[in-house]
Amino acid sequence: MPKLEIRKTLISVEDVFHEGGPVADTPLKRGAIVTVIKNPFAGRYEPEIQGFMEDLKPLGRKMADDLISAMGGDASVIEGFGKGTIVGEAGEIEHGALWHAPGGYAMRDALGEARAIVPSTKKVGGVGTRLDVPVTHINASYVRSHFDSIEVGLNDAPKADEMAVILVMTTGARIHNRAGGLAAEDIKDMDGLR
C-alpha cells in the first residue's frame, strides 16, 4: 500500500452559548477535524482497495485524539459523534467508504465505551465542497436531543486526487433541544439504539 500523504488538517470548535433562547450554563461544544490526504486510487479503477483501511487506522486514532484535545481534553464529556468523507473528482464514492471502519473504530476507542453506530455521510466533490456531517448520541442512536449535524469544508480541498476524511464530536444536546423523544438519561437497553 502507498504511504499515507497528508497535505493539511483543519480543526474547528464552536462554543454555542444560545440560539435565541436562554443562555446555557455550560456552552455546547461542536468540533470537527478534517484531514486532507492523497487518494492513492485517483484516476483509475482499482479492484482491491481494502488494504488502505489499515493505513487509515492510525490516522483515525490521531484525529480522534487531536479533536478531543481541541475540545478541552476530556473524552468523558463527548456525547455525540459523526464522520464523513469528501472524495476529490478523480476518485469514486467507494474510496470514501474506506473511512467507515478506521474512522469509526478509532473514535470509539478514543472515547472508551461508545455503543452506537457512528452516523456518516460521504460524497464526491470539487475544491470547496462542503459536507453536512450527521451527529448522533455515542451510546444510543435514538436519543433525539443529540441529533445534529456539523458543516465542514475547506476552500482549497479536496483537489482531484485527494480526499478529505472527517470526524466530528459534540459535548451535548442541541442548545435549546425540546423536540421530545428518547432522552439521554433514559437510555437503558445498552444495545446502541435506545
Partner 1 sequence: MSAKIRKIAVFVEETLTEMGREISPPTRKACAVAVIENPFAGEYVEDLTPLMDIGAELGTTLGRRCVEALGIQPSEAESYGKSAMVGENGELEHAAAILHPKLGAPLRKEVEKGAALVASSKKMGSPGQVLDVPLGHKDAAYVRTHFDGMEVQLNDAPRANEILVAVAVTDSGRPLPRVGGLTQDDMVGEDGLR
Footprint (CB under 8 A) of partner 1, residues 144-163:
151, 154-155
Of the candidates 135, 133, 97, 4, the one whose C-alpha atom is nearest the C-alpha of residue 59 is 4
Q: Which is nearer to partner 1, 36 or 111 (CB)?
A: 36
Under the criterion CB under 8 A, does residue 90 sit at the interface with partner 1? no
Measured from the CB of residue 155, what is the shortest distance to partner 1 in angstroms?
5
Size of the site for partner 1 (CB under 8 A): 22
Of the candidates 116, 98, 82, 75, the one whose C-alpha atom is nearest the C-alpha of residue 2 is 98
Measured from the CB of residue 150, what is the shortest distance to partner 1 in angstroms?
9
Q: Which is nearer to partner 1, 43 or 112 (CB)?
A: 43
Under the criterion CB under 8 A, does residue 74 sit at the interface with partner 1? no
Measured from the CB of residue 130, what is the shortest distance to partner 1 in angstroms?
8
With CB under 8 A as the contact rule, the residue among 70, 90, 101, 183 that binds partner 1 is 70
111's grid cell: 472515547
Q: Which is nearer to partner 1, 111 or 150 (CB)?
A: 150
Question: Running DSSP on this structure, what letter comes out for residue 108?
Answer: H
What is the Cα–Cα distance from 168 to 146, expressed in whole angstroms?
13
Instruction: Count Cβ atoms below 10 Å from residue 123 Cβ, excluding itself.
Output: 14
Residue 15-54 contact track with partner 1, rule CB under 8 A, x = bound:
xxxxxx------x---------------------------
Q: Are 41 and 12 in contact (CB under 8 A)?
A: no
**Position 22, amino acid:** P
11's grid cell: 480543526
What is the Cα–Cα distance from 177 to 175, expressed in whole angstroms?
6
Measured from the CB of residue 182, what is the shortest distance to partner 1 in angstroms?
25
Q: What DSSP line would sit under 165-190, residue for residue? A: EEEEEESSS-TT--S-SB-GGG--S-
Under the criterion CB under 8 A, does residue 183 sit at the interface with partner 1? no
Pairing assessment for the beta strands 28-38 and 80-87 based on DSSP bridges: unpaired
Measured from the CB of residue 36, what is the shortest distance to partner 1 in angstroms?
9
Residues that bind partner 1 (CB under 8 A): 5-20, 27, 70, 130, 151, 154-155
